[in-house]
Structure 1
Amino acid sequence: MSASAILVIDMMNTYRHPDADKLIPHVEPIVEPLSELVTAAQDRDDMDLIYVNDNYGDFSAEFSDIVRSALDGERPDLVEPIVPKHGLPVMTKVRHSAFYATSLAYLLTQLKPERLVLTGQVTEQCVLYTALDAYVRHFPVVVPRDAVAHIDPDLGQAALQMMEQNMKAEILDGAAGCLR
């Protein structure tokens, strides 16, 4: 049993999509706190780190292909600091929730974390839907504000409020709070 399972959601991104220009300015400030959280989690026995990323419609893509594409994308500087190390659990998803059509629920039943820490992008989309799916599976959810990125600031704030009020998520001001 671990204290926390930290999910890194959709951070392997080429930033070659219609919303990229709106998303990038909100991703830039989360890279450092997220990178620090990822690094700290790798050094702790009481934390599990799991990467879940959209396959962007390429059903033949391995996770390594997605990482390579992201590193060859428009903003490798947003990807390089958080590329998963070899041996960490990685999985691809096909829709918004990290649970949908993945083995995440099964993995979490094996790891038995006390809580899920949701990080990544996009707050009002994939993070929100993952929080809902975690909640209906009775996993306590934590979301550090400085480790999630939104496209629309108002929708991002509304998503955090929904997670807190409707899904009983703990919304932290900083990712460092996840290390306590």
Structure 2
Amino acid sequence: MNKPALLVMDMQNGIVSRFQDNVDMLQAVQKSVGAARDHDIPVIFVRVGFSEGYPEVSPRNKAFSHVQQLGGMTVADHATQIHESVQPEAGEPVVTKYRVSAFAGSTLEVVLRSKQIDTLILTGIATSGVVLSTLREAADKDFAIQVLSDACADADAEVHRVLINKVFPRQADVLTVDEWIDNLESRREPLTN
């Protein structure tokens, strides 16, 4: 039997603030977190943040080199804290990464291996960023993968659509939060008296 974990990725103040109008996606992430907790599936939060002085940022990195110039995005900064809509509960890890993939420079793989997790359920922002990069790396590491399509978002709706419908199904099962919950409910053992 698979041992899953729900990854809630980049649902941090500085990123969620750009997607506040996407109420359906935010509610889908909340619903997935609630369902995971109800079914005793570990919830792991992943955020991007940097140390004071930005020693992790290379000037050659197009995605992050501007962060050092603009300031902010340190691990103590408000922008890197998990958004209030999906606050971690006691004992739920918050993993800090230094690049796009949830695995990059983080302790994620150590946490997953220590919990004997073999299946990852992916949610987060952005579909073309952390979700894509994490999916690809997780597939290379032989994890089984599920992507909750309505619990992911991207600034470009067409990119989101292509990834969800054409790219992700090659390496993951893609389903909505409701479909995922229905699958969880159908696997739940009936209570015996």
Q: Does 1:35 align with 2:30?
A: yes
Q: TM-score, normalised by structure 1?
A: 0.78
Is the Cα–Cα contact under 8 Å of residues 15 and 79 in structure 2 kept in the other structure? no
List gaps (5 residues or longer) in structure 2: 53-73, 185-193
Contact in 2 for aligned 1:51/1:91 (Cα 8 Å):
yes
Q: Kindly indicate whether structure 1 or structure 2 has the higher relative contact order, using CA contacts under 8 Å at least 6 residues apart.
A: 1
CA pair 114-15 structure 1, distance change in 2 beyond 3 A: closer
CA distance in 1, matches of 2:16, 2:112: 32
Which residues in structure 2 correspond to 1:84-123 (within 5 Å)? 84-123=88-127
Question: How far did 1:90 drift?
Answer: 0.8
Instruction: Give the counterpart letter for 1:178 in structure 2.
Output: W
CA contact (8 A) 1:52 1:98 kept: yes
8 Å CA contact 1:2, 1:112 repeated in 2? no
Q: Distance in 1 between the 2:15 and 2:93 partners? A: 23
Q: Residue 144 of structure 1: CA displacement?
A: 1.1
Which of 144, 156, 163 in structure 2 is aligned with 1:159?
163
Partner residue, 1:83: 87
User: What is the CA-CA distance between 1:16 and the residue it aligns to?
Assistant: 9.1
Contact 1:2 1:48 in 2 (8 A): no
In structure 2, C-alpha distance between the alignment counterparts of 1:137 and 1:16, rounded to whole Å: 28
**Alpha-carbon distance in structure 2 between the residues aligned to 1:49 and 1:121:** 16
CA distance in 1, matches of 2:98, 2:115: 23
| C-alpha separation in 2, matches of 1:142 and 1:154 | 20
Code of the aligned partner of 2:172:
A
Structure number with larger C-alpha Rg? 2
Aligned to 2:68: none
Shift of 1:15: 4.6
Q: Is residue 59 from structure 1 mapped to residue 51 from structure 2 by the alignment? A: yes
Question: Quick one: distance in 1 between partners of 2:128 and 2:119?
Answer: 20
Q: CA deviation at 1:70?
A: 6.2
**Aligned-pair CA distance for 1:93:** 0.8
Alpha-carbon separation, structure 2, partners of 1:87 and 1:11? 18
Say whether 1:50 aligns with 2:53: no
Task: Give aligned pairs, total.
Answer: 160
Indicate conservation of the 8 Å contact 1:49/1:88, yes or no: yes
Deviation per residue, 1:45-83 (Å, 9 max, x gap): 3x111000011xx31444xx45x4467xxxx9xx32211
The alignment's C-alpha RMSD in Å is 2.4
Could you tell me the TM-score, scaled by structure 2's length? 0.73
**SS at 2:150 equivalent:** helix
